[in-house]
Amino acid sequence: MFQSRYLSFARKEAPKDEETKNAQLLVRAGFVDKLMAGVYSYLPLGLRVLRNIETVVREEMNELGAHEILMPMLHPKSIWETTGGWSSIDVLFKIQSRTEKEYALGQSEEEVVTPLLMSRVNTYKDLPVAVYQIHWKFRDELRAKSGLLRGREFLMKDMYSFHENQDDFEKFYMRAKESYLKIFNRLGLVAKVTEASGGSFSQKISYEFMVLTDAGEDDILYCPSCDFCVNVEITKQKEGELCPKCSEVLQQARASEVGNVFDLGQKYGKDFNLGFIDHENKKQYPIMGCYGIGISRLMGVIAETRHDEKGLIWPKNIAPFRVHIIALVGQDDAQNKIIMEQTIRLHDNLQAEGIEVLCDDRMHVSPGQKFAESDLMGIPYRLVISQKTGDKIEVKKRNEQEINMVDFSEIIQYVS
Amino acid sequence: MFQSRYLSFARKEAPKDEETKNAQLLVRAGFVDKLMAGVYSYLPLGLRVLRNIETVVREEMNELGAHEILMPMLHPKSIWETTGGWSSIDVLFKIQSRTEKEYALGQSEEEVVTPLLMSRVNTYKDLPVAVYQIHWKFRDELRAKSGLLRGREFLMKDMYSFHENQDDFEKFYMRAKESYLKIFNRLGLVAKVTEASGGSFSQKISYEFMVLTDAGEDDILYCPSCDFCVNVEITKQKEGELCPKCSEVLQQARASEVGNVFDLGQKYGKDFNLGFIDHENKKQYPIMGCYGIGISRLMGVIAETRHDEKGLIWPKNIAPFRVHIIALVGQDDAQNKIIMEQTIRLHDNLQAEGIEVLCDDRMHVSPGQKFAESDLMGIPYRLVISQKTGDKIEVKKRNEQEINMVDFSEIIQYVS
């Protein structure tokens, strides 16, 4: 992709109406644009990142054996009345049509997925089953001020699993937990698993996957030595007290919830009166689990936790491009011709190897501006070609200071 | 993909609440599920088709030089007031939040894209520019009864182009028209280009891309010999009269609009007072074009126009799978073992070549049911392995009657 033809929305100044670092950086670097609080457009660079995060999550969900589907966002009022959500969920957006019909905008999809899946589950032999989608959701938030961390419109992966009994749910949950930790790891994040309160309906404990960041909206108490971690909302323990598991001193930190799991019990099967025939030939309601990952929120959390004073620092596998080639031209036309030929050849060679590359081939932009924009965008490898670099390429990793001179023949291996 | 582990939503009977063939077939074959009139879930098979259509459209839009972005669905009331749409567009869904803030659900995105793009257009040098998205839209339809052809929630590709003057728009439109015809051709459809009325705001003629089908909601008058074609809404000509271009007898037919183009003139630039400096150093408003393609509607139109009494007949490049392997086992365990080994090897070989393959490896389903389900799904190539087929594979194309025996070594070439 040549930058002379690429549509950049980068700005010289950070936006004044954003309070959090993720929004300031993502807007300034041209990844997103704010339409209103909690609602953003995804621009060419931002859409690439969003799709890359989706891909990581999709691969792990498929690996887990869940089936991808896509459920509607516009819901009839009736299904939300069946479960009680119409009157009890305050973030549910409600719509009245011109014929006075009422709808809700999906903020979660239990009301859709339960009838959909249970219509094909007759006996225990049809269980367990898990489906997921990567789709947009809506919440009527009172305040949305944290950039991509708390949206009125946001992209989520939500998975729903159906089980014959609690044991089977627990087994699946343990596998899902491993998938989640693998996902966050692949995204360059360290997530802690906390116990939290169960949300609107569930009487049971739920699990939250938390990433430490000051822009988060939760406070967690965690042990620096073992995996003990709780949301402060549900504990009487305090910072400085001893870990109940290993007696280390507990620490408190601000965190953002990037994933969660709810044990829904039999609520939704019962609400819709949709059951199955169990091993003992009796009608039974399924145990259901719900597993969320905030895809657009993850983009915000990564921006929030991985940046420096110059800009964003994307991990390799979700960066909008793996490599940023910068051609530095001067006053000498003959030299410039050689530089541009080298640049285009390098671009084409990398692209032929399946490496995503952005190439700053602009002729009338200063080196300083090119470098500044490159740092702001946060592409992992910066490759400079200039009159000085001769038969080598000047390579710098975004998150390191060191500059290396690398042979053209060795560059693909270097950035792979 | 092995069918023993695949999540099928196929039904024995067609749904009783669907009037059109596309919905009857797509629901029965388990591609979609109706949540309410005009609102569907996309199930594993249906989601694959939707993504395949998206890919064809995306490739051609990128080829045209348009930049992919993603704009919000939840819009503030203010932008729709600026353009007058808030009070004049009857299909606009309106939402009141719990704090009495009002929003609209996007049914088109001129109100978002104009401020977004014009914020970076300073002079004529920044033009022309075109952006597109593939995203969900909402319309408050009075009646939605044609399956995927008229949705309250539907997937569209919408592109917006910005030009210095009318000439430049016309040039771009001609290129976009060629892209559109190429897209419909790649999807196995023949589309006619009609002139139609300009929609809510535009005073100008718009263009519609029409596919002939009785389930459509438009009537067109076309010439069987030349490219003359108009929507009957905007002409006084009648069926049986002579073509004004070539004097052939005009025919009338029912059609579905799968794409459209609107010449928006300067309306949106003027409404938002967002202009640029032109060649003569004067402030000017951009000429804008809007170009839609109904992605989910296309899925419905293809189902509507390509099926027989047994089921769907997908074109190769958008079918959920290219190949359907069917293993027919019998009573002889030793034979069955050989058949299943051959089946798995064939599946793995095809998959290794990047050919998308569904493999019916179910042991306790009759041959009759396997064939019936395969025909219903409409996968282009059916490959049967049984005790009878020996060292060959029995191959049948979904849209042909002929059965061929093909060597294992030649099968990849055969289905490519």
Q: Inspect the interface and report whether the beta carbons of A90 and B98 lie closer than 8 Å.
A: yes
| Ordered alpha helix ranges (H), A272-405 | 295-305, 333-352, 367-377
End-of-domain residue from the set B263, B278, B308: B308
Closest-CA distance of chain A to residue B4, Å: 11
Mean pLDDT of chain B: 94
Q: Inspect the interface and report whether the beta carbons of A47 and B68 lie closer than 8 Å.
A: yes
End-of-domain residue from the set A308, A337, A361: A308
Per-residue pLDDT, B204 = 67
Indicate whether B314 belongs to any domain: no
Length of chain A: 416
Q: Is the domain of A174 the same as that of A222?
A: yes
B116 has a chain A CB within 8 A of its CB: yes
Indicate whether A315 belongs to any domain: no
Q: Inspect the interface and report whether the beta carbons of A43 and B69 lie closer than 8 Å.
A: yes
Q: Is B297 helix (H, G, I), strand (E, B) or coil?
A: helix
Please state, in angstroms and rounded to a whole number, the distance separating the CA atoms of residues A132 and A183: 15
Helix or strand (DSSP H, E) at B357: strand B357-360
Could you list the beta-strand ranges (E) of A244-322. 251-265, 276-277, 283-284, 287-294, 307-308, 311-312
Residue type present at position A228: F
Per-residue pLDDT, B9 = 95
Chain B residues closer than 8 Å to A69 by CB? 41-44, 47
Domain range for residue A79?
A: 3-308
Q: Closest to B116 (Cβ–Cβ): which among A33, A96, A103?
A: A33
Q: How many degrees, rounded to 5, is the angle at CA A251 between CA A248 and CA A254?
A: 155
A9 has a chain B CB within 8 A of its CB: yes
Closest CA to B415 of B317, B297, B301, B334: B317
Reported as a single tens digit per residue, the pLDDT across B65-121 is 999 999 999 999 999 999 999 999 999 999 999 999 999 999 999 999 999 999 999
Report the share of chain B in percent with pLDDT over 70: 98
**Res. A205: pLDDT tops 70:** no
Q: Which residues contact B378 (CB under 8 A, 6 or more apart)?
A: B29, B306, B307, B311, B312, B313, B314, B319, B398
Indicate whether A114 belongs to any domain: yes
Please state, in angstroms and rounded to a whole number, the distance separating the CA atoms of residues B66 and B159: 8
B185 has a chain A CB within 8 A of its CB: no
* β-sheet bridge partners, residue A393: A406
The question of ipTM being above 0.85 is answered as yes
Q: Is the domain of A114 the same as that of A34?
A: yes
Please state, in angstroms and rounded to a whole number, the distance separating the CA atoms of residues A415 and A347: 13
Q: How many degrees, rounded to 5, is the angle at CA A268 between CA A263 and CA A272?
A: 170
Please state, in angstroms and rounded to a whole number, the distance separating the CA atoms of residues A177 and A263: 13
Q: Is A299 helix (H, G, I), strand (E, B) or coil?
A: helix
Report the share of chain A in percent with pLDDT over 70: 98
Closest-CA distance of chain A to residue B313, Å: 22
pLDDT band of A190, cuts 50, 70, 90: confident
Q: Averaged over A117-123, what is the pLDDT?
A: 96
Q: Is the domain of A99 the same as that of A228?
A: yes
Q: Closest to A41 (Cβ–Cβ): which among B44, B116, B129?
A: B116
Q: Averaged over A287-292, what is the pLDDT?
A: 97
Q: Inspect the interface and report whether the beta carbons of B42 and A70 lie closer than 8 Å.
A: yes
**pTM, entire model:** 0.96
Indicate whether A211 belongs to any domain: yes
Q: Averaged over A106-128, what is the pLDDT?
A: 97
Closest CA to B113 of B69, B77, B154, B155: B69
A26 has a chain B CB within 8 A of its CB: no
Please state, in angstroms and rounded to a whole number, the distance separating the CA atoms of residues A159 and A176: 10
- Interface test with chain B among A17, A26, A36, by most B beta carbons within 10 Å: A36
Lowest mean pLDDT among A107-116, B187-196, B389-398: B187-196
**Res. B134: pLDDT tops 90:** yes
Closest CA to B142 of B37, B220, B223, B226: B37
Per-residue pLDDT, B196 = 67
**Res. A234: pLDDT tops 90:** no
Please state, in angstroms and rounded to a whole number, the distance separating the CA atoms of residues A364 and A384: 16
For residue A353, give the CATH number of its domain: 3.40.50.800
Chain A residues closer than 8 Å to B90 by CB? 98
Indicate whether A390 belongs to any domain: yes
A92 has a chain B CB within 8 A of its CB: no
pLDDT band of A204, cuts 50, 70, 90: low
Q: Is the domain of A270 the same as that of A335?
A: no
Indicate whether A125 belongs to any domain: yes
| Cα A44 to the center of its chain, rounded Å | 17
Reported as a single tens digit per residue, the pLDDT across B176-227 is 999 999 999 999 998 999 876 655 454 566 889 999 988 888 999 999 999 8
Q: Is the domain of B143 the same as that of B259?
A: yes
Interaxial angle between packed helices A295-305 and A44-63, expressed in degrees from 0 to 180 and rounded to the nearest 10? 110
Q: How many degrees, rounded to 5, is the angle at CA B345 between CA B340 and CA B351?
A: 125
Per-residue pLDDT, A197 = 61
Per-residue pLDDT, B234 = 84
Q: Is the domain of A85 the same as that of A203?
A: yes
Q: Is the domain of B145 the same as that of B25?
A: yes
Q: Is the domain of A339 the same as that of A204?
A: no
- Interface test with chain B among A69, A120, A133, A153, by most B beta carbons within 10 Å: A69
Nearest residue of chain B to residue A153 (CA atoms):
B74
Per-residue pLDDT, B205 = 65
Strand-pair category, B357-360 with B323-327: parallel
| Cα A56 to the center of its chain, rounded Å | 9
Per-residue pLDDT, A158 = 98
**Res. A223: pLDDT tops 80:** yes
Chain A residues closer than 8 Å to B74 by CB? 39, 138, 152-153
Alpha-carbon dihedral angle through residues A229, A230, A231, A233, given to the nearest 10 degrees: -160
- Interface test with chain A among B2, B41, B73, B152, by most A beta carbons within 10 Å: B41
Summary count for chain A: helices (H), strands (E) = 11, 23
- Interface test with chain A among B40, B45, B67, B110, by most A beta carbons within 10 Å: B67
End-of-domain residue from the set B279, B308, B337: B308
Q: Is the domain of A22 the same as that of A53?
A: yes
| Cα B223 to the center of its chain, rounded Å | 25
Q: Which residues contact B273 (CB under 8 A, 6 or more apart)?
A: none
pLDDT band of A215, cuts 50, 70, 90: confident
Q: Inspect the interface and report whether the beta carbons of A72 and B41 lie closer than 8 Å.
A: yes
Q: Is the domain of A298 the same as that of A386?
A: no
**Res. A200: pLDDT tops 80:** no
Alpha carbon distance, N-terminus to C-terminus of chain A = 18
Chain A 324-343, CB below 8 Å of chain B: which residues? none
Please state, in angstroms and rounded to a whole number, the distance separating the CA atoms of residues A260 and A193: 9
Total domains in chain B come to 2
Nearest residue of chain B to residue A93 (CA atoms):
B97
Q: Closest to A70 (Cβ–Cβ): which among B47, B65, B70?
A: B47
B190 has a chain A CB within 8 A of its CB: no
CA distances from A94 to A79, A90, A91, A139, A144 (A): 13, 10, 9, 10, 18
pLDDT band of A311, cuts 50, 70, 90: very high
Q: Is the domain of B352 the same as that of B294?
A: no
Q: Is the domain of B363 the same as that of B288?
A: no
For residue A207, give the CATH number of its domain: 3.30.930.10
Strand-pair category, A392-397 with A381-385: antiparallel
Indicate whether B317 belongs to any domain: no
Mean pLDDT of chain A: 94
Reported as a single tens digit per residue, the pLDDT across A379-399 is 999 999 999 998 899 999 999
Q: Which residues contact A99 (CB under 8 A, 6 or more apart)?
A: B142
Q: Averaged over B142-160, what is the pLDDT?
A: 94
Per-residue pLDDT, B197 = 61
Q: Averaged over A345-364, what is the pLDDT?
A: 96
Reported as a single tens digit per residue, the pLDDT across B262-301 is 999 999 999 999 999 999 999 999 999 999 999 999 999 9
Alpha-carbon dihedral angle through residues A161, A164, A166, A170, given to the nearest 10 degrees: -50
Indicate whether A129 belongs to any domain: yes
Per-residue tokens: B200: 């809510």
Please state, in angstroms and rounded to a whole number, the distance separating the CA atoms of residues A403 and B102: 53
